[in-house]
Structures are given as C-alpha cells and as structure tokens.
Amino acid sequence: MKKNGVSSLKTSLVALVLYISLSTVLYGQSKQESVDDSSLVTVEQDIRYATKPDSINNDVSSDRLLDIYLPKDSKQAKLPVYVYVHGGGFSGGDKAQHKVFCTKLASHGIAVITINYRLYLKHNKISGASCRANMSKGLPASGKFNAGLHRAIAIAGEDAVLALKWIKDNAKKYKFDTKDVTISGGSAGAMTALYTGLCTKSSKINVKNIVNLWGGVENNEQIVNPKVPVLTFHGDKDDLISVEYAHSLHRFLEQKGNRYSKLIILEGIGHGGPAYKEVINNRMETIVDFLKGK
C-alpha cells in the first residue's frame, strides 16, 4: 500500500509539472498572439478644429478639440476617415473616454478622429430634456423631443459639421480620403452622428457611412439623406434609449430603398458599458467590413 501510495504521489507530481509547463507555454503563446493595438497607432491630441466657444468658460469637454488616431506605416495613398462622437447625454463625457475603441479601429488602417463639442445640457439645466426622459419609453407620440434636447442635438451637430470641414481642410496633411468619411458615436454621440449624416444638408458634409451605437433619431421625417448606409448596434435591454429607435430607423431606411443599412440587436445587453464591451471584443470586424462595403 505504501509503495502504491508513493507511486501515486510521483505520478501526480509529474502530471502537475507537465500541467504547469504546458500552461506556461500556452500563456506565452497567447501573450505573443495578443497584439498590442497601441503599437500600431500614433495619436495626436487636443487639436483645435474650430474657434473656442464663448459660452463654455474653461470647460475643455465642451471645447472644439479633437484627437487623431493614425495607423503607423500605412502604405495607403489615402486613409478612410472615421469620426467618433462620444456620448454623455449632452451634459457629460469627453473624447478621451474611448481610447481603446479608437485605437483598435485605427489599427485596421483607418484614420480615427474623436471630437469634443458643446455640451448644451451641461451648461443649461432644462427640466425634462434628458435622453432618458425622452427616449427610454419608446418613440415620442408627438414625434418631438423636449425643446432642450432638440436644441442640444442641433448644437452638437453644428460642431460635428465644423469637424468635418476641418477634415476637408487638412486632408492633404494627414492623407485623409474625403470621399470615404464615416461619422459615428455612442448614445448622445450616435444621435449627433445620425442628425449630422441623415438630417443635415450642407456642402461641407461628405458622409459615406454612419455607425450608430445605440442612438436614435427624433423623428424619421427629419431625414433628408435616406440613402446613406447606416450600421446600427442596439441592446434589446437598453433602458435609457429604447431599442424601438433602432427598429424604427432601420424600417424607414429600408422603405426609402436603402439596401446597405444593417441592424444588429445585441441580445440581453443594456445601454453603455456592456454594449461597448460587446462591440470592442466581438464586433470590430463587423464595423470594418461594413466600412469596406461588405
């Protein structure tokens, strides 16, 4: 019995050593295979794209500044451009919040630009103007948001147009392809992107695609550019901006003959953090393919 016990102990120790060795090898492989996206990208921060607004005091998050994420050693003659507008209910947030998302996307050979913009509801406290108050329970029966929210979207859209103009003016310096510009955002940023790309007519705008991360349009009848392809991600458990906005927008675009728009419902996922995590970890290739027209 004692001999058998010693033998069993030796066998167990050998198995343990083999397990540790194998785990170490596999861990080393996984570390090598996991590419640090930041090593593939250069970043330029706090570039002014338009004059400082008089109304913001010293609030940097409401200033007209942008960051650029550029792929290193790109052999492309011109870079497709992806403009990202952060969320925060038009009362908070900052372009610096989404470094991981922007870096990962830029590593695919895309110039990613993220902007700060005037946060109207941060500097103007208006009862009933929040996104939650207007959008959590579905589409507004009147077809209209609170006037304060409507104003906040329009002001953010004005700054987004200025950022697009800056891209046009600086295309040669950064090798921007002004015929391949996508505007995107999350939550309030997505609302801004949709408003800018779908609901605004301007010679300064040349939007090829929109990537809508759980945003929405106040009223589909506002849309004047229904043929712009829109990729929408929206969680079906979103309790801040109802998923009805995603379904309504997609149906409307289809009815207008937009064959290139796509709707992806994130099952069991709510607003904000969990949705970002899902997109960053599992859906980046979907975004890249969409931008390439696949």
- What are 61-120's pLDDT values in tens digits? 999 999 999 999 888 899 999 999 999 999 999 999 999 999 999 999 999 999 999 999
**Structure pTM?**
0.86
| 3-class secondary-structure state, position 114 | strand
Tokens 């109802």 correspond to 242
Helix ranges, the chain (H): 2-33, 99-106, 120-123, 131-135, 147-169, 171-174, 188-198, 244-255, 273-278, 284-291
Alpha carbon 218 to its chain centroid, in Å, reads 19
Helix (H) or strand (E) holding 134, with range, is: helix 131-135
What does the CA dihedral 40, 43, 49, 52 come to, rounded to 10 degrees? Answer: 150
Pick from 255, 212, 203: nearest CA to 230: 212
Round to whole Å and give the CA distance between 119 and 149. Answer: 11
Range 40-291: architecture per CATH: 3-Layer(aba) Sandwich (3.40)
Alpha carbon 285 to its chain centroid, in Å, reads 14
144 pLDDT band (50/70/90 cuts)? very high
Strands 79-85 and 176-186: parallel
pLDDT at 236: 97
Cβ-contact 89, 126 below 8 angstroms: no
State the average pLDDT for the chain. 89
pLDDT at 20: 38
